């Protein structure tokens, strides 16, 4: 498959032919239909954060299931899905108390298992357990959410990071109450839609 390979800070991504493994256990192979360019990805390219190379970045994506591992129960080929960067195990103490974002045992392949991604015979690091800057993603089923087939996948991809980040800011950081008056700029317009869903009294759009 074609993928945009990350070689390190301040270096351009290059389009390369990368091999993706077949799904095992609870893994799902997804054909990437749409992927956003989140500023968090750019932080790694710009060198603000570190990540081992070579790697495939990208974590805001949606696509269509192509194949599933033998232990997958929630998905089948043809399903439309949104990728989630907060994959979780489902059985640690945090997961069992509803705090999956704090999971301490995120499911990854063991060193004894073949790598998910290889380039020129060597492993490629998977970013955020997704690596969405590629034609296909190999993801644990807990890192996917099924959506209706008529939902536009370009818009669905944004839910994987940008929209949920904004919703978290509205609900958890700003703690907007029902009936409150909120203001937003163009970037936050999608997040205020959530505020409207909470039956806020007024929304002022600053242009």
List the chain residues with pLDDT less than 50.
199-200, 205
Active site residue 40: yes
pLDDT value of residue 198: 52
For the chain, give every residue range classified as CATH 3.90.180.10: 2-152
Q: Are 33 and 153 in contact (CB under 8 A)?
A: yes
**Which candidate in 35, 38, 80, 140 is catalytic?**
38
pLDDT value of residue 56: 98
Q: Are 6 and 45 in contact (CB under 8 A)?
A: yes
pLDDT value of residue 202: 54
Active site residue 95: no
**Which candidate in 89, 95, 101, 161 is catalytic?**
161
Residues 89, 149: Cα–Cα separation, whole Å: 27
**Which candidate in 35, 59, 131, 140 is catalytic?**
59
Peptide bond before residue 86 is cis, with ω within 30 degrees of 0: no
Instruction: Name every residue whose Cβ is closer than 8 Å to that of residue 65 and which is 6 or more positions away in sequence.
Output: 28, 29, 30, 31, 75, 76, 77, 78, 79, 80, 81
How far from chain centre, in Å, is Cα 78?
Answer: 19
Active site residue 122: no
CATH number listed for the domain at residues 2-152: 3.90.180.10
Active site residue 140: no
**Which candidate in 40, 84, 95, 131 is catalytic?**
40
Report the b/e string of 63-76 with b at 16+ CB within 10 A.
bebebbbeebeebe
**Which tokens belong to 133?**
């800057």
H helix runs in the chain, sequence order: 39-46, 93-96, 153-158, 164-168, 189-197
**Which candidate in 43, 86, 89, 92 is catalytic?**
43
- Please give the full DSSP string across 116-145, using - where no structure is assigned: SEEETTEE-EEGGGT--SBSEEEEEGGGEE
Active site residue 103: no
> How many other C-beta atoms can be found within 10 angstroms of the C-beta atom of residue 27?
23
């Amino acid at each position: 498959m074609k993928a945009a390979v990350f070689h390190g800070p301040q270096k351009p991504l290059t389009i390369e032919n990368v091999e993706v493994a077949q799904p095992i256990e609870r893994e799902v192979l997804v054909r990437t239909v749409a992927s956003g360019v989140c500023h968090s990805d750019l932080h790694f390219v710009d060198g603000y954060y570190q990540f081992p190379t070579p790697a495939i970045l990208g974590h805001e994506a949606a696509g269509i299931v192509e194949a599933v591992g033998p232990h997958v129960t929630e998905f089948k080929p043809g399903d439309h899905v949104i990728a989630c960067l907060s994959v979780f195990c489902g059985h640690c103490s945090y997961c069992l108390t509803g705090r999956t974002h704090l999971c301490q045992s995120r499911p990854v392949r063991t060193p004894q298992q073949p790598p998910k991604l290889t380039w020129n015979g060597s492993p490629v690091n998977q970013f955020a357990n997704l690596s969405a800057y590629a034609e296909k993603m190999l993801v644990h089923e807990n890192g996917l959410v099924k959506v209706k087939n008529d939902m536009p996948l370009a818009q669905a991809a944004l839910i994987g990071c940008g929209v949920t980040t904004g919703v978290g800011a509205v609900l958890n950081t700003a703690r907007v109450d029902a009936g409150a008056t909120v203001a937003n700029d163009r970037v936050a317009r999608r997040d205020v839609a959530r505020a409207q869903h909470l039956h806020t009294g007024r929304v002022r759009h600053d242009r």
